[in-house]
């Protein structure tokens, strides 16, 4: 009973917003949920970095009331109040802000733990699913609709599409090197990478690469063994991490025999650009293209 009281009280504090032209409006989120938003949201909780980055890119940074512990960009929102992290998220804390919109993805059980209690509190929540690169544009448009920033959303998506088209024009007809992208290392001879059908795989493709592990089982983990990398013998290796991590590759068992390692074709790429499905994915496309096809950008 106490939990219901705690969750219901902030909804009463918020009151029923004054009617604005074009509101209330109903949107459908990534889980197929129909979400009613009564008025333009002014206090938005952005759970996960991608959602915070999309909101900020829509010019809504000043409306972000709280973020989660691993959000670092843009710098102007890094000091916002924190609403959960590795150990989970609290619907009661969100209600106490009080928030009038929560944006999340299903990761770390955020959607599973928050959607129902937030609904009871009268706080609308959107769950965004991040699949391929086209889904990033879909989510930007969805957030624009939910926050009353449709014009900015369309302009942002158009700019992203123009930049990707510009890269495509520069690298058209050029050979596409076979690339292994390392996203993590377990320290036990197993390495994270990406499979086909993901936004990161799309970034590699649009940047002029062939992903050597695009054939990974879509239902399984994105992990490969050192032996699998040696068999693939990629033309280029991209490490989503630090220069020190890239420099350590030759010290791994048998990795010195890889052609890419012997010829110094190992490069670092930005984790934020390639692994966070927000507007900066276009920076990832441009970064990959410049690394693999430098003469196209001379």
For every residue of 164-179, DSSP letters joined together read HHHHHHHHTT----EE
Answer yes or no: is pLDDT of 7 > 70: no
Q: 96 and 44: one domain?
A: yes
- What gap in Å lies between CA 104 and CA 252, rounded to an integer? 38
- Does one domain contain both 240 and 142? no
Confidence at residue 19, expressed as pLDDT on a 0 to 100 scale = 66
Residues of the domain holding 257: 173-297
Number of domains in the chain: 2
* Distance, CA of 42 to CA of 63 (rounded, Å): 5
Q: 179-195: per-residue pLDDT in tens?
A: 999 999 988 899 999 99
What pLDDT sits at residue 137? 97
pTM above 0.85, yes or no: yes
Structure tokens at 8: 């219901």
Domain end among 86, 114, 148 = 148
Query: Do 231 and 138 fall into the same domain?
Result: no
Are 140 and 182 found together in one domain?
A: no
Residue with tokens 């890239």: 246
The pLDDT value recorded for residue 187 is 83
- Note the pLDDT of residue 10: 44
pLDDT at 216: 83
Mean pLDDT of 111-137: 93
């Amino acid at each position: 009973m106490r939990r219901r009281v705690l969750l219901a009280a902030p909804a009463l504090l918020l009151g029923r917003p004054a009617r604005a032209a074009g509101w209330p409006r109903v949107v459908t989120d990534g889980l197929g949920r129909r979400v009613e938003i009564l008025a333009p949201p002014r206090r938005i909780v952005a759970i996960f970095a991608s959602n915070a980055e999309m909101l900020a890119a829509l010019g809504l940074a000043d409306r972000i009331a709280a973020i989660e512990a691993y959000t670092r960009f843009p710098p102007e929102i890094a000091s916002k109040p924190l609403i959960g992290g590795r150990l989970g998220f609290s619907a009661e804390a969100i209600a106490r802000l009080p928030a009038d919109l929560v944006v999340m993805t299903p990761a770390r059980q955020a959607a599973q733990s928050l959607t129902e209690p937030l609904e009871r509190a009268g706080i609308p929540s959107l769950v965004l699913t991040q699949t391929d690169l086209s889904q990033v544009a879909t989510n930007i448009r969805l957030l624009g609709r939910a926050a009353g920033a449709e014009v900015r959303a369309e302009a942002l998506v158009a700019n992203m599409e123009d930049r990707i088209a510009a890269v495509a024009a520069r690298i058209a007809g050029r050979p596409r090197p076979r690339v292994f992208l390392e996203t993590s290392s377990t320290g036990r001879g197993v390495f994270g990478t990406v499979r086909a059908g993901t936004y990161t795989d799309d970034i590699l493709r649009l940047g002029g690469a062939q992903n050597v592990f695009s054939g990974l089982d879509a239902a399984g983990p994105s992990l490969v063994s050192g032996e699998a990398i040696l068999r693939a013998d990629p033309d280029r290796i991209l490490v989503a991490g630090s220069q020190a991590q890239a420099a350590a590759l030759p010290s791994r068992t048998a990795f010195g025999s890889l052609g890419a390692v012997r010829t110094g074709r190992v490069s670092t790429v930005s984790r934020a650009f390639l692994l966070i499905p927000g507007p900066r994915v276009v920076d990832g496309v441009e970064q990959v293209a410049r690394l693999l096809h430098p003469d196209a950008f001379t």
